[in-house]
C-alpha cells in the first residue's frame, strides 16, 4: 500500500512573515519572536542568571539614562534587511525622542539606536552571527555581546555594509570603556558582568 501526499485547502489568504510572528507571539507568551534575514526566530524565556546579568547591566548604563538618551530593555528595532525584519535586543541605548520614531509592531527606526546589547542564552549563534550582520546593516554604531558560554564580552563598533569594522573581545579582569557616542561615559567590569550571568 502506498501513501499519497495530501494538500489541504488554506483557510483564507496566506499570511506574511509579520503576521506569522504576531501569531507565534500570541501563542507563546514569554518567548522572544524576531524576524531576522527573512526567518522567524523563537527564543524561549531566559534563565534567572540571564536576568540578573541584564539587571546589573541596566544599572551600569544608568549614566546614559537622561535627557538626551534612554536605556531600554526588550524594545524592537526595525531592520532594513527586508520588509518585515525586526530584532528585540536585550538592552539598548536610544535617543530620548524615541517616541517620535515608532515604525510598527512595537519597533523603532534603527537610526535612534546608539547601542544594542545581547546577553547570550540558548540563541548563542544568533547573537554572534546573524544579529551581527543585521545590526551592521541597520548601522547601529555599537553592538555589545555578553557571551556567557565563553565568558567573554564582545564590543563591535563602526558598522560597514554587513559587518563591523572593529571587534574587540574582553576577558575577566579587564574593564571596557564604551564609545562616548552612546551619550554618556559607561565603563563595564567584565568579571562582574560575567559573574552575574553564570548559572
**pLDDT score at 14:** 78
Q: All 3 cell numbers of residue 126?
A: 544568533
- What confidence tens digit (pLDDT) does each residue in 36-63 have? 999 999 999 999 999 999 999 999 999 9
**pLDDT score at 97:** 98
**pLDDT score at 146:** 97
Domains of the chain and any CATH numbers: 45-196 (3.90.1570.10)
**pLDDT score at 124:** 85
**pLDDT score at 194:** 97
Query: Which of the residues in the chain have pLDDT under 50?
Result: 1-4, 6
pTM above 0.75, yes or no: yes
Here the contacts of 171-176 (C-beta below 8 Å, separation 24 or greater) are: none
Q: Give every CB contact of residue 55 below 8 A, 6+ residues apart in sequence.
A: 196
Amino acid at each position: 500500500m502506498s501513501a499519497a501526499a495530501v494538500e489541504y485547502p488554506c483557510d483564507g489568504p496566506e499570511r506574511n512573515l509579520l503576521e506569522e510572528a504576531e501569531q507565534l507571539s500570541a501563542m507563546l507568551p514569554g518567548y522572544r519572536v524576531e524576524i531576522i534575514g527573512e526567518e522567524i526566530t523563537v527564543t524561549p524565556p531566559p534563565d534567572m542568571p540571564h536576568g540578573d546579568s541584564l539587571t546589573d547591566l541596566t544599572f551600569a548604563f544608568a549614566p546614559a539614562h537622561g535627557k538626551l538618551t534612554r536605556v531600554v530593555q526588550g524594545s524592537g528595532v526595525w531592520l532594513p534587511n527586508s520588509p518585515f525584519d525586526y530584532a528585540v535586543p536585550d538592552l539598548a541605548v536610544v535617543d530620548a525622542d524615541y517616541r517620535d520614531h515608532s515604525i510598527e509592531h512595537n519597533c523603532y527606526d534603527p537610526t535612534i539606536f546608539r547601542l544594542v546589547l545581547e546577553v547570550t542564552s540558548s540563541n548563542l549563534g544568533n547573537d554572534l552571527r546573524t544579529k551581527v550582520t543585521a545590526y551592521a546593516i541597520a548601522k547601529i554604531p555599537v553592538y555589545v555581546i555578553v557571551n556567557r558560554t565563553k565568558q567573554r564580552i564582545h564590543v563591535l563598533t563602526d558598522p560597514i555594509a554587513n559587518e563591523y569594522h572593529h571587534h574587540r573581545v574582553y576577558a575577566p579582569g579587564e574593564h571596557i570603556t564604551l564609545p562616548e557616542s552612546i551619550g554618556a561615559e559607561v565603563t563595564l567590569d567584565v568579571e562582574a558582568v560575567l559573574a552575574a550571568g553564570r548559572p
